[in-house]
Structure 1
Amino acid sequence: MVRGPRGGRVPGGPRGFLVRVRRAWDRPLTAYYLILGGSLLITVLGLVMVYSASQIKALQSGLAPAYFFRKQLLAAVLGGGLLLAASRMPVRLHRGLAYPLLAGSVFLMCLVQIPGIGVAVNGNQNWINLGGPFQMQPSEFGKLALVLWGADLLARKQDKKLLVQWKHLLVPLIPVAFLLLGLIMLGGDMGTAIILTAILFGLLWLAGAPTRLFVGVLGAATLIGALLIKTSANRMSRLACIGATDPGPGDQCWQAVHGIYALASGGFFGSGLGASMEKWGELPEPHTDFIFAITGEELGLAGTLSVLALFAALGYAGIRVAGRTEDPFVRYAAGGVTTWITAQAVINIGAVLGLLPIAGVPLPLFSYGGSALLPTMFAIGLLIAFARDEPAARVALTARSKRKPVFGRRPAGVRWKTMRRRVKKRPSGER
């Protein structure tokens, strides 16, 4: 038997190990460390894989081998600043950003549709040229805007006891979400529209929408989605490539099949960093939508499982933050961010594995793309701020800061108090 941290006895062996793991998992700062550590590890590993996967693509375009890596590194540095700023902002300031961010996102998404301002990439017109090699995708900021605005709206209505009425659940949340979805679909970006729909459903679920209302909205969205897929030959071809093992007529499933080839050739530990064969022109978009396939080829099953474990830890921590808070805005915002990142990761990885149609969405924090990285890192900063703001986490952080040594030694006052406590505990005859 081993004595636990609170004086209780912990059995030895495997059972004791599980007890200690469970106690460590239940500590106040677990969610904080998981979000901070998991997101940083995903970002750093993503930078490494962007550099490895994009070199051939850059050379084929007549650019320097590190061209895409340098742009991603710049975006990661800027995103780190946004993450730090968001993690230090109070909740009231996050709520204050909701309406300006929503208005700015709608305005920019309207600009995308103006000829000469909007830029089409791979058939989707959802980009704005900022000059030179820099472009921005406003729909990525629309995800963050919907999370913050929707969380603020639902929190205000919950405070006024209005969410018990179905019309207050739907209006104006559903019309504004449909406005964003319509602007995105004007550019043809079905993948981003799916992520936005997932965020909407996540907010409705957290608000306690009745089952019949939830099923009704889900059915309407499914019907609209099926109609949009049926009326587009490109989307129908992507749907037909699920589980494909042959490129098919006209090589319509070329990307899906070569993504499977990349994963299959990686084995358990991969062919080595930088040794991918599929990125030599065989796999389109190796540094964006299909970077997970290159990761599997170069780092093997071990690398892909590590990425999946990091996303799972991030998702668990977000759910834990949303479940433990008493602030309705924090619950809705944390749940919305967790739904966003988890759904986008599932859709991207599912497409690479051939389990879902190719939606053209990047892997959060991992794939190349500054427009996707900046709002995602700000959203991670939100989760960090919420995790730090838990009462038990605040107490633990305060206690840790008081115990922190100065230059490897405890401050003199702390050392003197510690010595005095030890003297008081000794028997009188030993003094």
Structure 2
Amino acid sequence: MTGSVTDAPPARRKPAPARPADSAFGRLVGEPFAALHGLLGRPLASYYLLVASAGLLLVIGLVMVFSATSVPSFDSQQSAYAGVQQQGLWAAVGVLAFWVAQRLPTRTYRFLGLPLMIVCLLFALVLVLFPAGRIGPVGTNLNWITIGSIQFQPAELGKLALVWWGADLLVRRGDSVRKWKRLAMPLFPVTALLFLLVGMNDLGTMLCMLLVFLGLLWVTGVRFRVFAGLFGVALAGVVVLIAEQSYRLERILSFTHAAKATGCTSADSIQGPCWQSTQGMYALADGGWFGLGLGQGRQKWDWLPEAHNDFIFAIIGEELGVVGCVVVLALFAVLAYAGLRIARRVDDPFRRTVAAACTLWLAGQAVINIGAVVGLLPITGVPLPFISAGGTALVVTLTAIGMLAAFARTEPDAARALHARAPSRLVRLLWVPLPPLPGSTRPTTPSARSRPAGGKPGVRAARGRTAGSSRTETRRRRPGPRAGSRTTTGKERR
């Protein structure tokens, strides 16, 4: 007798092999990455990463400026807190600029681009024609303009002007940026004039502007041959600007001597062009792994020039060691990741272009500064963002961070999450308003246009007549009676 299927003994299944994640080592390695992946998957992860990294860098900058300026401030003004008080005041102004920037709509940045570019060009022209002069309360000093007791650097404002104006222009051109003629006017002449006026007095800032410009072109999809041509022109211009000032050539020569490891060992070279780079290396070497301790550095005692500004990373290495340097580098890496994440997730082309350009600007400027301190790049006089002493640079940097924070809140997932939370009106008034929901400004679909208000789907709305149309024109378009046919009256038709 044939047995049924149910009578057959159940087949034995082989035990599944143990996965690596099920082991203790797999859980130890996999769980932190899983937690990190979960944190990065949250809607407002970009916003929190950006604000947290920028805030920590700002705090580290204030602490290190106090440490680097305490000795010279006490020597000149009999107060160790003079330098950090001034930097703290600029930081307060920068935080206010951050708050304002994250509340402004995108159309405001697009509107301010051209006026700010014109103002920066005029200021740069004044600094070139009158590098050192004074008329009443207004004075110039190479790269700075002084109005009363306020001193600012117009070249720093030029970075924001180039980002806003260039992004607005390229986004308006759309796909036509692939054509050379549509791209050249007026973008290339204006940027070339800005680079020339700024580069004559400040080559380092001009290099940062060049990074911003290349970032704008890269995001908008400009062809590679355009990049190659611009690189050749920019290289020739940089060579001319280096040859125009003797101290720039000395910096290049000192960098080549330091790279050979034998040129900066003589007494003349150490006391001359190699002095700053050599003292910076001494500061990094004295720090070791954990540093000498906060405030215990020795190079700031009039040994290292610009210890509070261009070479503040050397003071970090001396007092906080390799660990402190790694923390600063990690925070800049998180900031760059957050900026590129915002550029990838936002829908608006202008926001995407501005976010990528600002990220390349801040990350590139940090690489140029740190590379010069550790001897990998020539000294260009570029400050370290958030950390170096300087008022205009700090305010402009925090303004850019506030703008990126506003863009982070407009990510589709972030906007939906913020509207779902429904924060109180006081929070929206004191901090930042709600961003628009994704798709709220998109044009209606054809099905929505064909649907009358309050009507049923599938029923077309009555089309409005164009200007000058009438019922008589509609009747004239109807075919008339055939030739030879008899016209019937209404009574006969009935």
Flag whether TM exceeds 0.5 (same fold): yes
* Paired AA for residue 88 in structure 2: L
Q: Which residue of 2 aligns with 1:261?
A: 282
1:333 partnered with 2:350: no
Deviation at 1:151, TM superposition (A): 0.8
* Paired AA for residue 261 in structure 1: Y
* Paired AA for residue 327 in structure 1: D
* Paired AA for residue 58 in structure 2: T
Matches within 5 A, 1:19-418: 19-62=34-77, 64-113=79-128, 114=130, 115-117=132-134, 119-120=140-141, 125-132=142-149, 134-158=150-174, 161-186=175-200, 188-242=201-255, 243=258, 246=264, 248=266, 249=268, 250-401=271-422
Contact 2:208-2:361 within 8 A present in 1 as well: yes
Contact 2:120-2:157 within 8 A present in 1 as well: yes
Deviation at 1:197, TM superposition (A): 0.9
Separation in 1, partners of 2:192, 2:393: 21
Aligned sequence identity (%): 45
Structure 2 SS opposite 1:241: helix
Deviation at 1:401, TM superposition (A): 4.8
* RMSD over equivalenced CA pairs, Å: 1.9
Contact 2:94-2:394 within 8 A present in 1 as well: yes
Separation in 1, partners of 2:126, 2:278: 36
Structure 1 SS opposite 2:176: coil
Structure 2 SS opposite 1:163: helix
Separation in 1, partners of 2:377, 2:225: 27
Structure 2 SS opposite 1:287: coil
Farther off after superposition, 62-71 or 72-81: 62-71
Q: Which residue of 1 aligns with 2:475?
A: none
Separation in 1, partners of 2:166, 2:82: 38
Contact 1:247-1:254 within 8 A present in 2 as well: no
Separation in 2, partners of 1:224, 1:94: 30
Contact 1:128-1:136 within 8 A present in 2 as well: yes
Contact 2:178-2:223 within 8 A present in 1 as well: no
Deviation at 1:79, TM superposition (A): 0.5
Deviation at 1:140, TM superposition (A): 0.6
Separation in 1, partners of 2:28, 2:94: 44
Separation in 2, partners of 1:13, 1:58: 50
- Give unmatched runs, 5+ long, in structure 2: 1-25, 428-494
Farther off after superposition, 275-284 or 58-67: 58-67
Separation in 2, partners of 1:66, 1:167: 55
Q: Kindly tell me the number of residue pairs found equivalent between the two proteins.
A: 386
Farther off after superposition, 319-328 or 102-111: 102-111
Separation in 2, partners of 1:299, 1:401: 43
Separation in 1, partners of 2:178, 2:211: 22
Structure 2 SS opposite 1:252: coil
Contact 2:97-2:395 within 8 A present in 1 as well: yes
Change (3 A) 1:247 1:375: farther
Q: TM-score, normalised by structure 2?
A: 0.75
Contact 1:108-1:138 within 8 A present in 2 as well: yes
- Give unmatched runs, 5+ long, in structure 1: 1-10, 407-431
Rg larger in structure? 2
Deviation at 1:394, TM superposition (A): 1.3
Q: Which residue of 2 aligns with 1:419?
A: none
Separation in 2, partners of 1:379, 1:402: 25
Deviation at 1:141, TM superposition (A): 0.4
Deviation at 1:231, TM superposition (A): 4.2
Separation in 2, partners of 1:13, 1:65: 48
Separation in 1, partners of 2:423, 2:395: 34
Contact 2:199-2:241 within 8 A present in 1 as well: no
Structure 1 SS opposite 2:144: strand
Deviation at 1:63, TM superposition (A): 5.0
Structure 2 SS opposite 1:135: strand
Deviation at 1:72, TM superposition (A): 0.6
Q: Which residue of 1 aligns with 2:16?
A: none
Separation in 1, partners of 2:368, 2:78: 31
Farther off after superposition, 175-184 or 353-362: 175-184
* Paired AA for residue 98 in structure 1: G
What CA deviation, in whole Å up to 9, does each residue of 1:255-278 have, x standing for no partner? 001111111111111111110000
Structure 2 SS opposite 1:116: strand
Contact 1:247-1:257 within 8 A present in 2 as well: no
What CA deviation, in whole Å up to 9, does each residue of 1:358-378 have, x standing for no partner? 110110111000011111110
Contact 2:347-2:411 within 8 A present in 1 as well: no
Separation in 1, partners of 2:59, 2:48: 16
Contact 1:50-1:68 within 8 A present in 2 as well: yes
Separation in 2, partners of 1:298, 1:371: 26
Contact 2:242-2:248 within 8 A present in 1 as well: yes
